[in-house]
């Protein structure tokens, strides 16, 4: 029954998908910069966003989104089905009041009433079904694999739909929150000028350069749609983005350079927003290839790396140490009780001896295209591993073609995962035995069984226990050496209010346009 | 008649060079690792999908036939369609070419008079403080990488003083003076990068003819140094100056990718880089061809102008 759910374009991960976080983990995250008044939203003004992650080949068709700029523009114009809020809860957007039968295979959702598109049409179930179906069947949408288990979507009434799945999934509301699934009127195809229900309409669009959207009517979402118009500029160079913010040409920018954030914070009139995220750097070991076949060798390497040093040096502290399993602290099913792998040369030597070796020499293939700082991390690893008699030979590989020629081809190489909205997705995509992107070639039948059971379990505490067990399995026997989780960093001028961290993606889950207000 | 023959010969040579470049360009893009079809399909490449796409793109034809088809289209003004967006390449390329030429023109208007003027002044006052200062400063600016000069200018004029924008985003329908304002910092950057070459060449080639007997005669007639330089030495030194100016003008069009990235300027260089990373080969070829036309065209014009300025160059035998 389990179809591989992992055929999404790799670039999507490179575009850095952040992970949903648990409310507890996030509420403690600091909003750095000047203290912001908890004031009420004010209407008016022209918001200018400077964003990396756009190119001349972008389109506003939601089935083509691979980078962040079109996603952000999409959310200015169109609404999604479900919104993941700042506390990592699935909350209603155009769908509300959902429930499922036991087994999580049959679901009913209400469609929000009294919503109109910018062309005057009233939203109903047909629009929702059409918009979901854009990502099913013959579609080339990156969201298609998530929805593969949906066998039928029925219109129950003008304001209610029913979804049937071939295999249950308790995370369906999270799957439907995917940023590709944006709602347009039934039968709509004019993607040069999308019609949506969100706060703004498209005024001018030049792909990869600039976009203007304008507010033409009151927005249905309370407290949102505050600014009169939004100008989104594509600025892919991080220095140029920062300069544009500092010289006041844009009001907010995404994706800061961790190496200069501390300097940026010292500037007046600028605030920095840091979001814990599921994106992580990995050194993947092929569990079917010598010498990594032996779990003792894998454990030796896991104890031979100094994670804290890497977080402090490469990320300048803007991240968290990893524990060789992919579920981040922000996820509701993160298991904090799993013993943290720390830097311990003696333990590394012990495991090496268990493997019957006194010294080990491995080739580590890296490129900064895997993740920013991969080469630096590998060099730190090389230094710390030497203390245990492990020689790490760094093989610097060209960025061009890295994912085709090195990743999943070389037994030990740097890799990157953008994280996924749910634990189930992350584990299914990269750790299930038959997953096409199981880049560690780690195979464990017990794990696979547990994964499928947890997917349909509706009892939260039972699920948490299952996911805890799976995290423990990966951490202690898996082939992924995960030194760190990388935080999202963004900044805004002090004119921008309401800019907050988000557990999903940076720029408030890319909904910054409708959320913030200007003073 | 002689001059016409010379112009015709130069133009023919230019066209021949262009054809040679187009062949190299075509071969070069074919040499990029990975088949276009598999690059396009990426992870979703099934054997069937690959076969269909290869047929659609005409990849099953021999390379020389594909080249001839492409050339035939280009000669008829059809650059083909982009592989990633499916839209005609010309519609994406032309506005960006306009932007690139605008920035290059802006920079040239500042750089050429500045460089040639300073070069002549330096020649007139050889060894003076002004001569040395001009040399040192222009060599300093050419020695720094472009992005470094850009960032320094941004820090000073955009971040600290706030006089000029650091973003050079221009778009259709933008007011002319807004456009000038937006592109001032990149134009200054480019100026700083190209001035040294032209300045030094003007100075050197002017001074080179200063030792000629006719210059000595002019001095002996009792003419002032500036008069000698301007009316006797300079006209004979124009050939190499025109050539170096042409090379720098061409550079302003084809060599500014880094400056485009730093200032977020939507020019052809940025389009070409995007196309290379996406393996959109028709776009790469079109950009490369445009660059080749600009480069060869400017050099041909420079040769002709140099010949017009100096009759001795019109005849090959003596040169």
Q: What is the ipTM of this complex?
A: 0.73
From chain B, the residues in CB contact with A204 under 8 A are 171
pLDDT for the residue numbered A12: 36
Contact A140 B154 (CB under 8 A): no
- Distance separating alpha carbons of residues A299 and A479, to the nearest angstrom: 9
Between A15 and A32, the higher pLDDT residue: A32
pLDDT for A36 beyond 50: no
Q: Is the peptide bond before A25 cis (omega within 30 degrees of 0)?
A: no
Contact B264 A56 (CB under 8 A): no
pLDDT for the residue numbered A427: 93
Between A376 and B307, the higher pLDDT residue: A376
Which residue in A4, A143, A244, A400 has the most chain B C-beta atoms within 10 A of its own C-beta, making it the best mutation to test that interface? A244
Angle of helix B176-210 relative to helix B146-153, nearest 10 degrees, comes to 130
From chain B, the residues in CB contact with A57 under 8 A are 82, 84-85, 274, 278, 280
pLDDT digits (tens, 9 = 90+) for A136-166: 988 878 888 878 889 999 999 999 999 999 9
Global confidence as pTM: 0.81
* Residues 6 or more apart whose Cβ sits within 8 Å of residue B136: none
Beta carbons of A215 and A198 less than 8 angstroms apart: no
pLDDT for A255 beyond 80: yes
Q: Specify which of A12-16, A290-294, B261-265 reaches the highest per-range mean pLDDT.
A: A290-294
pLDDT for the residue numbered B108: 92
Which residue in B44, B147, B264 has the most chain A C-beta atoms within 10 A of its own C-beta, making it the best mutation to test that interface? B264
First to last CA, chain A: 54
> How far lies B242's CA from each of B102, B237, B245, B253, in Å?
21, 9, 5, 17
pLDDT tens-place values along chain B, 319 residues long = 477 888 888 889 989 999 999 888 888 877 765 566 666 655 455 566 667 767 766 667 777 787 888 888 888 888 887 777 777 888 888 888 999 999 999 999 999 999 989 988 888 888 888 889 988 888 888 888 888 888 889 889 988 888 988 888 888 778 888 889 889 999 999 998 888 889 988 888 888 888 888 888 888 888 888 888 888 888 888 888 888 898 899 888 888 888 888 888 888 888 888 787 777 788 888 898 889 998 899 888 888 888 777 656 555 544 4
Contact A236 B266 (CB under 8 A): no
Q: How far apart are the CA of A319 and the nearest CA of chain B, in angstroms?
A: 27
Q: A210: which 2 tokens?
A: 């600039």
Residues of A near B (Cβ–Cβ under 8 Å) read: 7, 9-11, 50, 55-57, 59, 140, 204, 206, 208-210, 233-237, 239-240, 243-244, 246-250, 400-401, 404
From chain A, the residues in CB contact with B84 under 8 A are 57
Beta carbons of A78 and A194 less than 8 angstroms apart: yes
pLDDT for A301 beyond 90: yes
pLDDT for the residue numbered B43: 47
From chain B, the residues in CB contact with A210 under 8 A are 169, 171
Rounding to the nearest 10 degrees, give the CA dihedral for residues B240, B242, B248, B249.
-160
> How far lies A463's CA from each of A421, A423, A435, A446, A467, in Å?
16, 10, 21, 15, 6
Nearest C-alpha in A relative to B262 = A240
Contact A237 B155 (CB under 8 A): no
pLDDT for the residue numbered A206: 87
pLDDT for A74 beyond 70: yes
Over B115-140, what HEC string results?
A: HHHHHHHHHHCCCCHHHHHHHHHHHH
- Return the residue matching tokens 């389009």: B271
Q: How do A160-165 and A150-157 pair as beta strands? A: antiparallel
pLDDT for the residue numbered B104: 92
> How far lies A212's CA from each of A47, A363, A494, B307, in Å?
10, 49, 22, 52
Measured in whole angstroms, how far is the alpha carbon of residue A75 from the centre of its chain?
16
Q: Which percentage of chain A shows pLDDT scores above 90?
A: 67
Beta carbons of A107 and A167 less than 8 angstroms apart: no
pLDDT digits (tens, 9 = 90+) for A313-348: 999 999 999 999 999 998 889 999 999 999 999 999
pLDDT for the residue numbered A58: 83
Is B43 near chain A, with CB under 8 Å? yes
pLDDT digits (tens, 9 = 90+) for A90-107: 999 999 999 999 889 999
Domains of chain B: 36-78 (no CATH), 93-318 (1.10.3720.10)
Q: A120: which 2 tokens?
A: 């005057």
Is B184 near chain A, with CB under 8 Å? no
pLDDT for A28 beyond 70: no
Q: How far apart are the CA of A248 and the nearest CA of chain B, in angstroms?
A: 8
- The mean pLDDT of chain A is 88
Which residue in A144, A243, A263 has the most chain B C-beta atoms within 10 A of its own C-beta, making it the best mutation to test that interface? A243
From chain A, the residues in CB contact with B262 under 8 A are 237, 239-240
Contact A249 B34 (CB under 8 A): no
Please report the number of interchain residue pairs, chain A to chain B, with beta-carbon separation below 8 angstroms: 81
pLDDT for A195 beyond 90: yes
pLDDT for the residue numbered B36: 62
From chain B, the residues in CB contact with A54 under 8 A are none
pLDDT for the residue numbered A88: 82
**Average pLDDT, stretch A22-38?**
41
pLDDT for A2 beyond 80: no
From chain B, the residues in CB contact with A56 under 8 A are 85, 92, 270-271, 274
**Average pLDDT, stretch A368-387?**
91
Contact A240 B34 (CB under 8 A): no
Nearest C-alpha in B relative to A267 = B159
> How far lies A505's CA from each of A79, A169, A500, in Å?
16, 23, 11
From chain A, the residues in CB contact with B154 under 8 A are 240, 243, 247
Residues 259-298 of B with CB under 8 A from A: 261-264, 266, 270-271, 274, 278, 280
pLDDT for the residue numbered A132: 96
**Average pLDDT, stretch A175-183?**
93
Nearest to A264 by CA among A29, A31, A490: A490
Contact B154 A243 (CB under 8 A): yes
For residue B211, with 0-12 CB atoms within 10 Å meaning exposed, 13-18 middle and 19 or more buried, which class applies? exposed
Nearest to A370 by CA among A451, A454, A280: A280
From chain B, the residues in CB contact with A237 under 8 A are 261-262, 264
CB atoms within 10 A of CB A96: 15
From chain B, the residues in CB contact with A236 under 8 A are 261, 264
Q: A129: which 2 tokens?
A: 């079904």
Nearest C-alpha in B relative to A9 = B43
pLDDT for A86 beyond 70: yes
Contact A7 B84 (CB under 8 A): no
User: Which of B43, B84, B165 minimises the CB distance to A247?
Assistant: B165
pLDDT for the residue numbered B30: 73
- Distance separating alpha carbons of residues A481 and A483, to the nearest angstrom: 6
């Amino acid at each position: 029954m389990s179809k591989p759910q992992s055929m999404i374009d790799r670039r999507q991960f490179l575009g850095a998908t952040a992970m949903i976080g648990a409310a507890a983990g996030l509420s403690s995250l600091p909003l750095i910069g000047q203290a912001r008044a908890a004031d009420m939203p004010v209407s008016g003004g022209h918001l200018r966003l400077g964003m990396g992650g756009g190119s001349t080949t972008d389109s506003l068709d939601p089935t083509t989104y691979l980078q962040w700029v079109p996603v952000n523009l999409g959310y200015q114009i169109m609404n999604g089905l479900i919104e993941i809020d700042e506390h990592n809860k699935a909350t209603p957007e155009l769908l509300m009041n959902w429930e499922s039968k036991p087994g999580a295979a049959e679901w009913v959702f209400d469609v929000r009433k009294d919503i109109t598109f910018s062309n005057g049409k009233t939203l109903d179930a047909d629009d929702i079904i059409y918009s979901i179906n854009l990502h099913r069947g013959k579609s080339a949408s990156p969201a298609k694999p998530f929805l593969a288990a949906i066998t039928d979507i029925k219109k129950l009434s003008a304001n209610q739909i029913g979804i049937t799945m071939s295999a249950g999934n308790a995370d369906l509301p999270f799957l439907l929150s995917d940023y590709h699934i944006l709602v347009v009127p039934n039968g709509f195809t004019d993607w040069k000028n999308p019609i949506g229900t969100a706060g703004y309409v498209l005024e001018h669009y030049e792909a990869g350069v600039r976009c203007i959207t304008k507010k033409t009517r009151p927005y249905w979402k309370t407290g949102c749609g505050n600014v009169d118009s939004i100008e989104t500029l594509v600025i892919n160079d991080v220095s140029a983005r920062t300069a544009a913010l500092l010289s006041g040409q844009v009001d907010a920018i995404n994706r800061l350079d961790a190496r200069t954030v501390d300097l940026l914070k010292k500037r007046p009139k600028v605030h920095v927003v840091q979001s814990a995220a599921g994106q992580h750097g990995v050194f993947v070991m092929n569990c079917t290839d010598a010498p990594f076949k032996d779990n003792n060798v894998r454990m030796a390497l896991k104890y031979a790396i100094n994670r804290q040093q890497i977080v402090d040096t490469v990320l300048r502290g803007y991240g968290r140490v990893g524990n060789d399993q992919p579920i981040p602290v922000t996820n509701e099913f993160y298991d904090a009780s799993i013993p943290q792998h720390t830097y311990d040369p003696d333990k590394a030597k012990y495991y090496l001896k268990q493997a019957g070796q006194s010294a080990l020499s491995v080739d580590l293939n890296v490129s900064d295209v895997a993740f920013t700082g991969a080469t630096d991390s590998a060099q730190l690893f090389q230094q710390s591993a030497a203390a245990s008699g492990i020689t790490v030979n760094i093989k610097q590989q060209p960025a061009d073609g890295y994912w085709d020629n090195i990743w999943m081809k070389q037994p030990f190489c740097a890799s990157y995962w953008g994280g996924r909205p749910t634990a189930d997705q992350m584990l299914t995509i990269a750790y299930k035995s038959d997953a096409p992107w199981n880049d560690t070639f780690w195979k464990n039948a017990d794990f696979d069984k547990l994964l499928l059971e947890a997917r349909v379990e509706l009892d939260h505490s039972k699920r948490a226990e299952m996911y805890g067990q799976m995290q423990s399995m990966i951490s202690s026997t898996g082939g992924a050496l995960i030194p760190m989780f990388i935080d999202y960093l963004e900044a805004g001028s002090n004119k921008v209010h309401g800019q907050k961290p988000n557990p999903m993606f940076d720029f408030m889950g890319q909904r910054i346009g409708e959320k913030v207000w200007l003073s | 008649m002689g001059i016409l023959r010379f112009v015709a010969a130069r133009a023919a040579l230019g066209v021949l060079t262009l054809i040679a470049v187009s062949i190299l360009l075509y071969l070069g893009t074919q040499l990029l690792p990975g088949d276009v079809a598999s690059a396009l399909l990426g992870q979703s490449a099934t054997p069937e999908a690959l076969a269909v796409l290869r047929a659609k793109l005409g990849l099953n034809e021999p390379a020389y036939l594909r080249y001839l088809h492409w050339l035939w289209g280009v000669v008829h003004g059809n650059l083909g369609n982009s592989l990633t967006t499916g839209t005609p390449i010309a519609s994406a390329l032309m506005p960006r070419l306009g932007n690139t030429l605008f920035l290059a023109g802006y920079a040239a208007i500042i750089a050429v008079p500045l460089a040639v003027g300073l070069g002549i002044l330096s020649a007139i006052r050889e060894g003076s403080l002004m001569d040395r200062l001009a040399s040192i400063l222009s060599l300093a600016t050419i020695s720094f990488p472009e992005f470094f000069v850009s960032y320094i200018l941004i820090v000073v004029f955009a971040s600290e003083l706030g006089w000029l924008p650091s973003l050079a985003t221009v778009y259709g329908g933008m007011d002319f003076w807004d456009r000038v304002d937006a592109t001032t910092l990149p134009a200054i950057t480019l100026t700083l990068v190209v001035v040294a070459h032209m300045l030094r060449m003007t100075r050197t080639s002017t001074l080179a003819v200063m030792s000629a007997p006719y210059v000595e005669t002019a001095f002996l007639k009792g003419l002032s140094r500036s008069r000698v330089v301007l009316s006797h030495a300079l006209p004979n030194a124009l050939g190499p100056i025109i050539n170096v100016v042409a090379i720098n003008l061409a550079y302003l069009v084809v060599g500014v990718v880094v400056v485009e990235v730093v200032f977020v300027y939507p020019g052809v260089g940025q389009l070409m880089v995007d196309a290379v990373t996406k393996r959109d080969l028709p776009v790469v070829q079109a950009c490369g061809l445009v660059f080749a036309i600009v480069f060869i065209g400017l050099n041909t014009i420079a040769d002709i102008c140099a010949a017009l300025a100096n009759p001795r160059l019109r005849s090959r035998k003596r040169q």
